[in-house]
Amino acid sequence: MNISIILLLLIVALNFSITQSFQHPLDPLSPKEINEIRVIIEKSHLKTLKNLTYHFVDVDEPEKDDVLHWLSSSSSSSSSSRKTKLLPRRAKVVVIGGGQTRELVVDLSKRLIVLDHVYKGHGYPPLTFEELLQASLLTQKDPRFLESLSRRNLKGSQVSCLPLTKGWFGEHVSTRGVKITCFYRNGTTNIYARPINGITILFDLELMKVTTYMDRYRAPLPKAKGTEFHSRPVQPGPSYPNITNSKFSIQGNLVTWGDWKFHVAFNSRAGTIISAASIFDGKENKYRRVLYRGHVSETFVPYMDSTEDWYYRTFMDVGEFGFGKAADSLQPLVDCPGNARFMDGYLVDAFGMPNLLPRAICVFQRYSGDVAWRHTEIGVPGRVIRNGEPEVTLVVRMIATVGNYDYILDWEFRQTGSITVGVGLTGVLEMKATSYTSMDQVTEEMYGTMVAPNTIAINHDHFLTYYLDLDVDGNENSFMRSSLQSERVRRMSTPRKSYWNVKKKIFKREAEARIRLSSKPAQLMVVNSNKKTNVGNPVGYQLITGQPAYSLLADDDYPQIRTAYTKYQVWVTPYSKSERWAAGFYADQSHGDDGLTVWTRRNRKIENKDIVLWYTMGFHHVPCQEDFPIMATLRSSFELRPTNFFDQNPITYKVKS
Ligand SMILES: *[C@@H]1O[C@H](CO)[C@@H](O)[C@H](O)[C@H]1NC(C)=O
Ligand SMILES: *[C@@H]1O[C@H](CO)[C@@H](O)[C@H](O)[C@H]1NC(C)=O
Ligand SMILES: *[C@@H]1O[C@H](CO)[C@@H](O)[C@H](O)[C@H]1NC(C)=O
Ligand SMILES: [Cu+2]
């Protein structure tokens, strides 16, 4: 071997190690890695399995301590490539093959399956797009269905069928299956407005055929007229000043803006994942940790109609399908403003192939027109002194279109250290056909609102549960409630008779930190009691919740058993790498034997521990006519707000004295 070849090899090796160590451990899998995973599996002992399908493929991130160590060593020194330990690059893969669900861990460096475990518990992994499409197409060819159509004088070419998850209602479950519901387009694109009611179709996803077919009754089809919606042309927004003026940078998956820096990942289940969010403290002259990881963990959308066509509609979209898989390519100027920058995502199809999702996430500076802070001082003699700044924030957005509904999911960072997590609901309602054309005729229970003649939009809820692994200035945090209590004045020296005072309580164990929000005023905080401000307050972040909503279903109702955590909006657990999905990983047809409610039965200690906060945002949706044919966005949000985290409002740190 001559010297130049050795040199070349050295350079190649060096390059390789540099790119390896600069790969952020939380980065999503690249298309190259996804292909490698498939090749590794196809060459392994699993190659003999028939019809292997991929239901979940994601980076299996290293242990949190290792990631934190990597983060601190990669940021503390610029010549970090030698200091930084190479973290194993692994993937978690869930496949179904030979009738079994297997959980695999694939090590990409060793090119090996390092773990292969057959899952035998209740519930199934996320459904694949390909099998759902097949289920619809095969149903539309079923002779019994064609006969039902001809009995109704409907043309097959004008029918759209959709598979819906079937939930679980106490039955013995032996196979994966969906229920199919069909619509008659006949000219309209708003398929949901024209349901063909009265047919029960159960489709078995293992046998890939219709196993139950019942044509029970005929209901009139709502008219197509008035069901359409079309967007008007969009003007490039003059309302966004100096759109080239956005002061944020995206390097790989790392975003820096103002004092914030954080990592943005995209995954098939949660969609956007915000990690390692830290804010620069101008007074301490360093970055301080705020949020190790935050994402949507589960959704629960139960419909409030107990009849045969509807009772099973109790969707858990994140676990059954995936918000990432449902993510839509964002439309510039409609979904995100003109100054937005886009990040692509990669999804893995049922065959293990990477699929590009262009513009999965957008990042933009928002000029809301709001006031960040202001004050006018007239108390200084002879002067009127005005100060203030406009609110400019940084938004990270994705949109999941789950069948009829569209969820706009925002993480909005503020210069003052707050993070506002916003959800917007829009899209089309789920509706059923009825013979009634006016409310005067109705004599029976409707389970919803008549939004058009022959059309009832069914009452339902939306619960979105967020996983929030706050690490306020470090891992060891506690959860605290500051309750406001009315006090009676006892001293005689004041004309006042009452006031309110703050009573603080640190929660010691999981069971007590399960909270149903009430009208009693209280602040909920994650604090770090080991770290005090300049005047001695424990540093903290407050959870400012939105309008509280919790599930109104009976505790013994099957959908409620599967999502028992939705009876409380707030839960706190000690960090565990395996606890991320509030209703358990295997949500499809789950029995409620995994997830938050089950984990917290151990009643673990949560004081001065690495803790995770779970918050469920809820909407009780009583449809109205304006929600038809397309619903104007309904918004809600919650805020993570620094509370005694900084020594004073951090915007004043920047003011040069
Ligand atoms: C499994 O694969 C074989 C061969 O590709 C195919 O004929 C068969 O229909 C598949 N079975 C299922 C249940 O998809
Ligand atoms: C479908 O649309 C055509 C054209 O508008 C109309 O003539 C026909 O009656 C419709 N069929 C049904 C079943 O509504
Ligand atoms: C926009 O940029 C122009 C030129 O850089 C500057 O004169 C103007 O003041 C800016 N406007 C705003 C609203 O920032
Ligand atoms: Cu709704």
pLDDT at 17: 40
Look at residue 398 and give its three-state secondary structure.
strand
What confidence tens digit (pLDDT) does each residue in 132-179 have?
999 999 999 999 999 999 999 999 999 999 999 999 999 999 999 999
Pick the CATH number of 3-119 from 3.10.450.40, 3.40.1350.10, 3.40.50.1370, 3.90.550.10: 3.10.450.40
Ligand 2 pocket test: pick from 186, 194, 228 the residue with the most ligand atoms within 8 Å of its Cβ: 186
Q: How far is CA 179 from the centre of its chain?
A: 25
> Relative to the CA of 206, which ligand 1 atom is closest?
13
Domain ranges of the chain: 3-119, 272-343+361-652
98 ligand 3 Cβ < 6 A: no
Query: Which residue type sits at 437?
Result: T
Residues that are catalytic: 317, 405
To the question of domain 272-343+361-652 being in CATH 2.70.98.20, the answer is yes
pLDDT at 646: 97
Question: What percent of the residues of the chain are helix, what percent strand, and what percent coil, each to the nearest 5?
Answer: 20, 40, 40
Ligand 4 centre distance from Cα of residue 133 (Å): 24
Q: Whose Cα sits closest to atom 1 in ligand 2? A: 186
DSSP for residue 524: E
pLDDT at 74: 77
Residue 18 — very low, low, confident or very high, per pLDDT cuts 50/70/90? very low
pLDDT at 86: 76
Residue 606 — very low, low, confident or very high, per pLDDT cuts 50/70/90? very high
Residue 80 — very low, low, confident or very high, per pLDDT cuts 50/70/90? very low
Angle separating helix axes 143-151 and 129-141, nearest 10 degrees: 60
CB atoms within 10 A of CB 569: 25
Look at residue 126 and give its three-state secondary structure.
coil
Residue 241 — very low, low, confident or very high, per pLDDT cuts 50/70/90? low
What confidence tens digit (pLDDT) does each residue in 98-145 have?
889 999 999 999 999 999 999 999 999 999 999 999 999 999 999 999
Residue 485 has pLDDT above 60, yes or no: yes
pLDDT at 12: 43
pTM of the shown model: 0.93
**Nearest-ligand number for the alpha carbon of 245:** 3
Q: Whose Cα sits closest to atom 8 in ligand 1? A: 51
pLDDT at 76: 61
CA distances from 618 to 517, 527, 622 (A): 12, 25, 13
CA distances from 73 to 22, 84, 237, 477, 620 (A): 11, 6, 42, 23, 46
Residue 356 — very low, low, confident or very high, per pLDDT cuts 50/70/90? very high
